[in-house]
Structure 1
């Protein structure tokens, strides 16, 4: 790493210009080609996927988007002349609007079922052409809501009228401002606050335009950019901070700028590369799940992390060369220039805390583990699903339409089950009719209706409306009951084939598939962490402890989203809408991301410990010094991540808010309790066993120096007996 640092320092202007040129070139490419984001298929080999495929094959033509216009009469009925006259005029104008294929309203002989039994609620279905534009849909929305009055409330929902929140630039800006404030408050030096943020923003900005271009090559979700910004800003600022902090320590030790930059990159820079590599590997490990929407998010996030690491080890050394000694505060520069200036023994808060952990490892370690276990406990009740309009804030028109439909027609009307029926013979069609009758008598079914089949048609559709909402656990149980008990009885003795599909069933199947893969994925990630740490630190105990504690961090992350989003604690205060199941793919991504972030802190902490162990051979001193010297920067890094992740909670996207809450809470507790209490406490208790590795395994494993070259090539054979020092450094 030293040659790279020296080259970037000597050619600092060229390095900066290359990064600026790269950003401009990629931006020009996006300006010319745009982006092509789209949600990849989430279907697996499931019953709902087979239902969808059957209906698509039987369909004469692909349908465009559709949505509902829902209205409710306050203090009256929607069938009263005034309300009917008003809404009939609205629907006529909507049907004549460009891009609209058909409008099916309630004021016809065939639309009587579109009025609720109490007559207070009605809806119309609007079907659009396949090539409808967003502008045309917006025009229809304005036409539909123009008749809103004191006595008539109108709201919209459905696929066509669902507003997909755009990435919130305010959330990015708020996270950056908070990170700057934290850095400035802690280090009291403007350039220390500016450099990590500039490096991270350049890395994230470059990756954003690169991901936009990549969306033309592979399918990337429309949330990929926001998720990439969330991760990239957090790790980018942290990675740059670790290097800048080591550079500042080197300058205070009397090194020149060039020498200090090279040594910082050769020590902390190595740890940054290794930590970034673990995050990328963890993210790309999700590709083994072979699920389209997760593949795209994982690739986009991995590209972002890789480019932020590249910026930290190339752009940052160039900027450090330009800034020179001004990376130190004025007081630090005056102290360095004064006679006898230079490094001083410190006995600050982190040094005192490190000694306290060494003195009472059992009590403090047990207390921290108890707190973490309690916070992770809600994970046992984790329920996966998919958010819908019912989870939106009550101010949303989609949520209002959802509530009106639920009040007027029942909660299950917002997510009916669609049964695809393959009935090639008259006997099969007779069995289908019996099935419809049987479905109507099933507990949990509000009604079951079969669509009329045309002459010669062999594929039919049965609509089943549950009595419970799409997100209810009872609806999931109903789906299982239909598949396991009711439908097999109807199929028995015939060639009839029935598959339960529709959005509600598809979401339920997707959640089941991911839930079944989650335990194995967690174990694979833990094993991967164990292997990487074994190679990095030539130890078996440290990787084993790290793998177990990484799982605990993931449990804390899950516990946080369960409490806020599934149970609804604090959700209203944060403006996050109603409680509901956790988005199915969120836990998988949280596992990969949190694994990488936990590994980051473990690498930065233990690499400094091993550096001291290699120098002195005293395990207790190595643990204490490593904790004391990295405690401040790890705490600051965690505070920055907490600010960045926390700012995304208010971005308006439920999925991103789930990531923000889980990662913010988990990172804060991981750094303060696990890395600053549990890890050093366990290492003090284990002593020299921390660094034990069988000789045969030591020879078989590749040698990777994470902490960089030390003053000693290997730890002394016998531990150095250390006198009781006043500070922490010799």
Structure 2
């Protein structure tokens, strides 16, 4: 691999104009296609095989034209203090509003709250449901404006009107300023790391180009494959972070090779052959982990994983081609200012220098760890273990209107309905009864309705609504607890557990659906898939690292460290978003269950990022060990060479991920926070402390591999040992070095 990538880097350097123009053409073509593409669809939460999905499909089949798939708006009317919605003036305003809402060209029906008994017991709150014949994405501006105008007129009378549902849902802020802040922090980190504006700007430029290609491609293919902007958020997050980091590793290695005296074209080729090999491996791990999300069999999750995997592939390709091409245009610009001015001589990298090299913060830290490995190891493990403890109480769910900021009308509508009708009103259970094989459909539905209504935790059951064929009916059961309450989950399990006996008694079958039941099914499916997915990912990590480091203990150590960082990150997420510790600082107004897909995302993405740092750090340690250094000194040499770059890469990742914490969308906020703390724990505690401590305790045993396994494993040469043997530095003794090709630039 290293030899092949060496040739790729040399060709990209030589044909830099062609390579650059090709990427510009790709970006322009993707952008043109995105502009011409139809609008992306709304995200769907279809869950094949789950009961709630089957019930919804049955309802859609037996109640055609009912607007089950159409958009809806729930108008919530709140009387002024001391008044009731049933007062003559307020009632007239509400009826007028409902009448105007029902006249919309795309409206199926608008329910009068006074005829439907949709008024709270104290008369303070009432609601009306407006159902449309088309999905929210297909609503015309005229339909939206008509409803908004009617609501504004009602508000002018002094009546408070809030709007729930998806028809006029508030779109979350894009969080662009927070993301820009992340990029700004990344620029500062790069500038401090490299001491050169060009070296700092090049990774940012190539990463932005990569994200541009990825996002325009997702928009262009959105209508074809059902990819929405929310689907692409994860792709932009990972594409930006990985793109910056991968380019950072190549540019850093290029500067090292130039410091050894290599000409620019040779330095680029060697950088792509060595650091580029690690980039390919690191990118491959991220892609495999993201593509593996498809095994959960949730279409939306599969789309997000594959889209993000595509963004990472583009980041790798840009790193291997566009980065060396741009280095060809400015071979000296990325060097430190003192080197460009000729006031500082380059020196061979510490990993290749047998003599005493200049100390830096990384080598000094490594010496401290090597001298006291056991205390460092115990402190790191105990600390991460303590942070991980809250993860044992992890509760999964899906965010709804209750998780939105109180500044949104959806959240205020949710709170008003909960106050007026009880906490369970916002999460009713929809019971779909199939009476096709029943001799007396009315009696069967009545039996099921009575049995469900008698269940502890159900406060009311609505009258049954039959379809025209009278072979199906829908019943709405209202729980006494909120949709996210653990008691509601137990209630759904109880109703489903008692179903066989009820169905036998009624001679009809039924299934439970609705948003609450769907969220419960969603969470259970993710929870059941988490452990198998974690086993697959950890097993993959061991196999891949076994190929890279040709050691058994190093992969086991890496996998255990990865588990520690993932569990600690989950514990931190639970502490903030579930228990509420520090939630105000992040703008979290409502705590509750963690988004169902969050642990799966965390496991998959952090796996790839953790392997990045493991490869870039430990490969330099192994390189020094292979060159004859003792285990302890090899750790110091490896840290001297790579710790600064790994720390910079981690800080960039944290900055980029933290930028998404500013998103108003709770799903993106949780993912951004989880990934940021995961990188913090993995890079600075696991890789910078636990890894060197374990290697110091193991000594030579860390690098042993049984002979039979050594013969069996292929040599992938991630570290570029073949290039190291072939291209000796110009400072090596005569007879040991190979002539360096002249720079043709």
| Candidates 590, 605, 608, aligned match of 1:593 | 605
Which residue of structure 2 aligns with residue 720 of structure 1?
none
Q: Secondary structure of the residue that 2:78 maps to in structure 1?
A: strand
| Candidates 48, 51, 70, aligned match of 1:47 | 51
Alignment of 1:89-100 (within 5 A): 89-100=96-107
Structure 1-normalised TM-score? 0.93
Q: Deviations over 1:457-501 (max 9, x none)?
A: 02111110001111111110000011112x333223452112111
Structure 2 residue runs without a partner (length 5+): 351-356, 727-745
Which residue of structure 1 aligns with residue 196 of structure 2?
189
In 1: Cα distance, 2:345 partner to 2:220 partner? 56
Which residue of structure 2 aligns with residue 502 of structure 1?
514
In 1: Cα distance, 2:97 partner to 2:486 partner? 38
Which residue of structure 2 aligns with residue 466 of structure 1?
479
Query: Are 1:101 and 1:128, in contact at CA under 8 Å, matched by a contact in 2?
Result: yes
In 2: Cα distance, 1:308 partner to 1:711 partner? 24
In 2: Cα distance, 1:643 partner to 1:102 partner? 48
CA distance change for structure 1 residues 148 and 169 in 2, over 3 Å: closer, same or farther?
same
Which residue of structure 2 aligns with residue 288 of structure 1?
295
- Stretch moving more, 270-279 or 567-576: 567-576
Query: Are 1:145 and 1:155, in contact at CA under 8 Å, matched by a contact in 2?
Result: no
Q: Secondary structure of the residue that 1:421 maps to in structure 2?
A: strand
Alignment of 1:404-443 (within 5 A): 404-423=416-435, 424-427=437-440, 429-443=442-456
* 1:333 lines up with 2:340 in the alignment: yes
Which residue of structure 1 aligns with residue 36 of structure 2?
32
* 1:20 lines up with 2:32 in the alignment: no
CA distance change for structure 1 residues 238 and 227 in 2, over 3 Å: closer, same or farther?
same
Q: Secondary structure of the residue that 2:245 maps to in structure 1?
A: helix
Query: Are 1:29 and 1:213, in contact at CA under 8 Å, matched by a contact in 2?
Result: yes
In 1: Cα distance, 2:80 partner to 2:372 partner? 67
Which residue of structure 1 aligns with residue 132 of structure 2?
128
1:339 deviation in Å? 7.2
Q: Deviations over 1:103-144 (max 9, x none)?
A: 11224xx22x21110000011111112275252453123431
Which residue of structure 2 aligns with residue 70 of structure 1?
76
CA distance change for structure 1 residues 34 and 459 in 2, over 3 Å: closer, same or farther?
closer
* 1:369 lines up with 2:381 in the alignment: yes
Alignment of 1:148-547 (within 5 A): 148-149=155-156, 151-165=158-172, 167-334=174-341, 336-337=342-343, 345-423=357-435, 424-427=437-440, 429-453=442-466, 456-485=469-498, 487-547=499-559
In 1: Cα distance, 2:220 partner to 2:172 partner? 21
In 2: Cα distance, 1:661 partner to 1:482 partner? 36
1:382 deviation in Å? 1.1
Q: Deviations over 1:553-607 (max 9, x none)?
A: 2112212221221122222332233012111122112211110000110011111
In 1: Cα distance, 2:575 partner to 2:168 partner? 30
Query: Are 2:170 and 2:408, in contact at CA under 8 Å, matched by a contact in 1?
Result: no
1:221 deviation in Å? 4.7
CA distance change for structure 1 residues 99 and 454 in 2, over 3 Å: closer, same or farther?
closer
Which residue of structure 2 aligns with residue 722 of structure 1?
none
1:149 deviation in Å? 4.8
Which residue of structure 2 aligns with residue 102 of structure 1?
109
1:166 deviation in Å? 5.9
1:667 deviation in Å? 0.1
Query: Are 1:614 and 1:712, in contact at CA under 8 Å, matched by a contact in 2?
Result: no
In 2: Cα distance, 1:273 partner to 1:648 partner? 26
CA distance change for structure 1 residues 451 and 652 in 2, over 3 Å: closer, same or farther?
same
In 2: Cα distance, 1:143 partner to 1:319 partner? 58
- Stretch moving more, 704-713 or 467-476: 704-713
Q: Deviations over 1:135-166 (max 9, x none)?
A: 24531234313432584211100132323436
CA distance change for structure 1 residues 454 and 241 in 2, over 3 Å: closer, same or farther?
closer
1:286 deviation in Å? 1.7
Query: Are 2:270 and 2:723, in contact at CA under 8 Å, matched by a contact in 1?
Result: no
In 2: Cα distance, 1:606 partner to 1:426 partner? 72
| Candidates 111, 115, 118, aligned match of 1:114 | 118
CA distance change for structure 1 residues 687 and 380 in 2, over 3 Å: closer, same or farther?
same
In 1: Cα distance, 2:705 partner to 2:144 partner? 65
1:455 deviation in Å? 7.2
1:437 deviation in Å? 2.5
Q: Secondary structure of the residue that 1:504 maps to in structure 2?
A: helix
1:59 deviation in Å? 0.9
Structure 1 residue runs without a partner (length 5+): 715-730
In 1: Cα distance, 2:98 partner to 2:399 partner? 29
Query: Are 1:615 and 1:711, in contact at CA under 8 Å, matched by a contact in 2?
Result: no
In 1: Cα distance, 2:88 partner to 2:505 partner? 53
- State the number of aligned residues: 709
Query: Are 1:615 and 1:710, in contact at CA under 8 Å, matched by a contact in 2?
Result: no
RMSD: 2.1
Which residue of structure 1 aligns with residue 741 of structure 2?
none
In 1: Cα distance, 2:142 partner to 2:394 partner? 40
In 2: Cα distance, 1:452 partner to 1:245 partner? 68
Q: Secondary structure of the residue that 1:616 maps to in structure 2?
A: coil
Query: Are 1:646 and 1:661, in contact at CA under 8 Å, matched by a contact in 2?
Result: yes
- Stretch moving more, 47-56 or 469-478: 47-56
Which residue of structure 1 aligns with residue 6 of structure 2?
2
Alignment of 1:667-686 (within 5 A): 667-686=679-698
In 2: Cα distance, 1:614 partner to 1:186 partner? 28
CA distance change for structure 1 residues 124 and 4 in 2, over 3 Å: closer, same or farther?
same
* 1:566 lines up with 2:570 in the alignment: no
Q: Secondary structure of the residue that 1:155 maps to in structure 2?
A: strand
- Stretch moving more, 300-309 or 288-297: 288-297
Q: Secondary structure of the residue that 2:388 maps to in structure 1?
A: helix
In 2: Cα distance, 1:549 partner to 1:537 partner? 16
Q: Secondary structure of the residue that 1:450 maps to in structure 2?
A: coil
In 2: Cα distance, 1:136 partner to 1:466 partner? 37
1:252 deviation in Å? 2.5
Which residue of structure 2 aligns with residue 11 of structure 1?
15
Q: Secondary structure of the residue that 1:326 maps to in structure 2?
A: coil
